Structure 1
Amino acid sequence: MPSALQSSGSISAAVAASRVLGLVRMSLQSRLIGAGALADTFSVAFRIPNLLRDLLAEGALSSAFVPTFTASLVQEDRERAYQLANLALAGILLVTGTLTLLGVVFAEPLVVAITSGWSPEKIAETAALTRVMMPILALVSVGAVWGGILNAQRNFLPFALAPVVFNLVSIAAGLGMWLGGLGGRAAVMAWSVGTLLASVAQAAVLVPSLRRLGYRARPRLRGLRRHPGVRRIVALMLPAIVGVAAVQLNVFVNTRFAASLGDGAVAQIEYAFRIFFLPIGVFGVALATVTATQVSEEAARGDRSTLIARTGEGLSAAWLLTSASTVGLVLLAHPIVSLIYEGGRFGAAESAAVAVILQAYAIGLAPYSMVKIVAPAFYAIDRPRVPLIASFASVAVNIGFNALTYERLGAPGLALGTSLGALVNLTLLRAFYRREIGALARPGRWREFAVLAAANAGLGAVVWAAWTGLAQVLAGPLSALPRLLRALVGAGALAVVIAVGFVVFAAIVRAGKYPGGAQLWGLPAGLMRRLRRRRARPAA
């Protein structure tokens, strides 16, 4: 079994819980504010601090901080590593605090810049929501530093669980709004306040785990400019910021394209992306988290051959998990969207529109996940310009494709452009990896590819036949049931189809001896054993 797949198991479970709860949160949002103009205002307002968050915290900072902090742990000691962490914390608070203040003051110009063709009233409403949610930038940035401290010491689970807390607080806020009968503009404002409170909880939940490791958050500016670790972080961050900025430019331009398509397009893309991000979060982010730490350690030791092996294991596991997810999302997009979002202010027409966008996104699932696995290796060996070049090329392809096709293809075309950009990014990273680090190709890779192709073909055939058959059988009886019962029966049918598809896929990869296939086959039984052991403990 690849070590990356094994090590990421608990993280995958934590991230899976977070993503499922995230879909519950989005399901509440869809029912409370729909997928029209009001939903557009929230999506854009939330996107503004998130663009900066991705730029600084979860993009450049994480890529630069983890290898630098890890090197300090390996080559010096924990006390000096923690001093470095507090300096980094002070620096990021200074930067993000300033940006938060600027975002509050200049909220309306920011909204105008990111949208196209919106009315003054819609811009003003979006700016008011932006001012509420801007502090999310600083909160998530603090969480990124603290999460890097935990991950570098192989304490992966707390940081993976932190978004669970975010989603639970958001869901509690949404349920309160639903029970209170809030709707319209009041619901959007209340949802924004709940999102801010959830971000506070997401950062705060990391503190107990950090204290157990002996870390105390004492941000200080003295020595910030002179510390060699800080200088290395800045040196790695600057090209990384440019690289991530290229991706955010892509989001920025695509948002303007979507905003010009009329009311609802921005929100529909957001709803589709949240479902698309479930397998990325469960598999891609979990594997990337483990792989980034492993390659940082091997790079700090100067062991290139093991570094290559770790990256290869991560890619093999990603192929195994994301290829099946792609097939499932393409074939089951409409029932999944309908089950999660439909109801209240979100109708059948919105479900159909979001499903097509989701299918376009799903095409890019594998390359999108693999970029997160390959790119950290270049930061670990101090070659940050390589991901920068690949990122710019992917964004150029994406923006060029979308500029040529968005009026004809609409919102699904924007999602397809994102998938094409991810494919270009991965292709270039693989080519540079061979030149800068070494060949990732392993003996037997073509046999593994054939096994994976057969498994996905079997999965697709079974899922298509099973869902088509069940849909025909249930169409008549379901029409006579109340909405809630229809949803429960539909969820059960969808779960059965997914379970059957999993069994077929896992059986083929196990029989074909694909790396990790036997472990995937044994995963349900392993989970059941863990549950039985946990239930038996109190009785003992």
Structure 2
Amino acid sequence: MAFGIFLSRIAGLIRESLLRSTLALGPAADAFAAALRIPNLLQNLLGEGSLSASFIPVYSKLLGEGRKEEARKAAGATLGLLSAISGLLVLIGVLAARPIAAILAPGFDNSRYELTVDLLRITFIGIGALVLSAWCLGVLNSHRKFFLSYVAPVFWNIAQIVVLVFVFTRSWNTFDAATAVAWGLVAGGVLQFSIQMIAVWKIAPDLRPTMNRSLPHVIEIRRRFLPAVAGRGVVQISAYVDLFLASLLSTGAVATLLSAQVLYLLPISLFVMSVAASELPEMSRSGQLSDLTSRSNDAMRKSMFFVLFTAVIYIGAGEQIVDALFGWGSFSSDDSLTVWAVLSAYSLGLPAVAASRLLQTSCWSLGDTKGPAKIAGIRVVVASLVGLSLMFPLDLLAFAEGGITTKDTQGPHLGAVGLALGSAVASWVEVFLLSRRTKRSLPKLSSLKGLLFKIGVPASLAFLLAALLKFLIGSLPALLMAPLIIGISGLFYTLVAFRSGIEESHLILRPIRKILYRR
């Protein structure tokens, strides 16, 4: 599974790199970022997160108990209901693109607004297929078929990469390029769903969509689904509040946020989502509190080992990483510095986001979907208040020729950093509340504070080494410097962790030993 996620994220980085080189952080980039974010509401509300909390636990438990016919009926009814709901919302989105754009991005000027409307009508079509692909993921994961469900997004990215390469070689203007990529998104969504659906038919050939809402297990899925949707809805409100606020900032703020989020979400996908997705079906099958506690603690230790290192590297060497990925074509060095500043702010909350995702999984396996939803609501309020208080003062600042200036410049300003800081603060509030709630059912859950302190020592030393390496080899090209800093600092971090008795260091050292032993 982790390898499948890794491939999809690498493809996503290539797509984002080509997108930034084509659109940079200009008006078309803002419009595309907004148009991509808005229909994602469907995917996130009705897709993987909500199905993980509702459908997968019920379906996995039925399979584990050998009740395959009941599992088939529950899956078919879920597909039918999901298809009807997503189809209706896609239709509404296409028809109401203009008022949706006006409400969610009121700060856009006329050209950005009109392009956003056009792109919305296109991207809404593709998101419908992505929602259904999330149902496929739930079925495949429950049958322990993890690789295909997580490698399928590669095809979504490839479709857009092909379009971007074509556009880049033809030197199209940015508005036409954004429109072409939007159609690539639609093609990629259909391709991703089709590939997964073929796999579903192979393992469950009798599965058919129905509209049977009266089955007991369907009622249970719906009972869990609505609070999960509410929880995801709260998270999406936070994302749209960020979009709303970013549209009020200088041109490029929306695209800057999206660019930073591509890197920010990478460790969550690789080291947290893979663990959470594989553990959720097993937790749901088990039902034993001691087993749930053991699995939760093990997942937290593994995830934090990788996520904390990623956070310190993003802060210490994020400029070189951003420059290596995006710093070509129309993307300037000041653009790289701006994205790095936002990424660093996000990274302050990265460990909390990772821990929250794992604690949510534990709650879902216990049948608790309302608690995480309420806590997510608190997170939204905190993020909005902190972000709003910081974004306008920071938007007076900008990078110009490598330094910070208060003068009006053409490039993006630092207002987006305020929104990222609000998200980081809110993430720590969320994980504190989730930890308290989860420990009521799992009192022997390990302390996150103790875990962070233990791993924090080698992580801090790795940060200092990364800063030193940046000073020593700063004259090298970013494409060479970034992997050198990550590789050397990562090896140092692993060795210090090993000497400190952190067992998770063997996740890195064991494969290295095998390679050396074979030689």
- Find the counterpart in structure 1 of residue 38 from structure 2: 48
Q: CA deviation at 1:304?
A: 0.9
Question: Is the 8 Å Cα contact of residues 503 and 521 (structure 1) preserved in structure 2?
Answer: no
Q: In terms of mean alpha carbon deviation, does 262-271 or 511-520 score higher?
A: 511-520
User: Which aligned pairs between 1:8-27 and structure 2 lie closer than 5 A?
Assistant: 11-27=1-17
Question: What TM-score, normalized to structure 1?
Answer: 0.88
2:439 pairs with 1:434:
yes
Q: CA deviation at 1:391?
A: 0.7
Q: CA deviation at 1:437?
A: 3.2
Distance change (3 Å), C-alpha of 1:526 and 1:199: farther
Question: Is the 8 Å Cα contact of residues 15 and 160 (structure 1) preserved in structure 2?
Answer: yes
One-letter code aligned to 1:182: W
Distance change (3 Å), C-alpha of 1:427 and 1:168: same
- Residue of 179, 185, 191 corresponding to 1:189: 179
In 2, distance between residues paired with 1:235 and 1:324? 39
User: Which aligned pairs between 1:134-145 and structure 2 lie closer than 5 A?
Assistant: 134-145=124-135
User: Which aligned pairs between 1:9-408 and structure 2 lie closer than 5 A?
Assistant: 11-221=1-211, 224-299=212-287, 303-408=288-393
> Cα deviation per residue 1:15-34 (whole Å; 9 max; x = unaligned)?
12211211110010011111
- Residue of 495, 502, 518 corresponding to 2:506: 518
One-letter code aligned to 2:239: V
Q: Give the alignment's Cα RMSD to 1 decimal.
A: 2.0
Distance change (3 Å), C-alpha of 1:39 and 1:440: same
Distance change (3 Å), C-alpha of 1:528 and 1:200: farther
Distance change (3 Å), C-alpha of 1:135 and 1:526: farther
Q: CA deviation at 1:326?
A: 0.5
Distance change (3 Å), C-alpha of 1:157 and 1:121: same
Aligned residues: 499
- Residue of 418, 422, 425 corresponding to 1:420: 425
> Cα deviation per residue 1:489-531 (whole Å; 9 max; x = unaligned)?
432222122111111111122222213222222234557899x
Question: Is the 8 Å Cα contact of residues 455 and 508 (structure 1) preserved in structure 2?
Answer: yes
In 2, distance between residues paired with 1:91 and 1:528? 53
> Cα deviation per residue 1:275-307 (whole Å; 9 max; x = unaligned)?
1111111112111112222221222xxx11101
In 1, distance between residues paired with 2:313 and 2:515? 22
SS at structure 1 position matched to 2:34: helix
In 2, distance between residues paired with 1:513 and 1:209? 43
Which consecutive residues of structure 1, in runs of 5 or more, have no partner in the other structure? Answer: 1-10, 475-488, 533-540
SS at structure 1 position matched to 2:208: coil
Question: What TM-score, normalized to structure 2?
Answer: 0.92
Q: In terms of mean alpha carbon deviation, does 489-498 or 246-255 score higher?
A: 489-498
Which consecutive residues of structure 2, in runs of 5 or more, have no partner in the other structure? Answer: 395-414
- Find the counterpart in structure 1 of residue 464 from structure 2: 461
In 1, distance between residues paired with 2:516 and 2:98? 52
SS at structure 2 position matched to 1:440: coil
SS at structure 2 position matched to 1:471: coil
Question: Is the 8 Å Cα contact of residues 509 and 518 (structure 1) preserved in structure 2?
Answer: no
Identity of aligned residues (%): 24
Question: Is the 8 Å Cα contact of residues 36 and 264 (structure 1) preserved in structure 2?
Answer: yes
One-letter code aligned to 2:102: V
Question: Is the 8 Å Cα contact of residues 112 and 123 (structure 1) preserved in structure 2?
Answer: yes
Question: Is the 8 Å Cα contact of residues 316 and 515 (structure 1) preserved in structure 2?
Answer: no
In 2, distance between residues paired with 1:496 and 1:164? 26
In 2, distance between residues paired with 1:253 and 1:326? 24
SS at structure 1 position matched to 2:319: helix
Q: CA deviation at 1:207?
A: 3.0
Q: CA deviation at 1:122?
A: 2.3
2:490 pairs with 1:506:
no
Q: In terms of mean alpha carbon deviation, does 359-368 or 117-126 score higher?
A: 117-126
Question: Is the 8 Å Cα contact of residues 352 and 428 (structure 2) preserved in structure 1?
Answer: yes
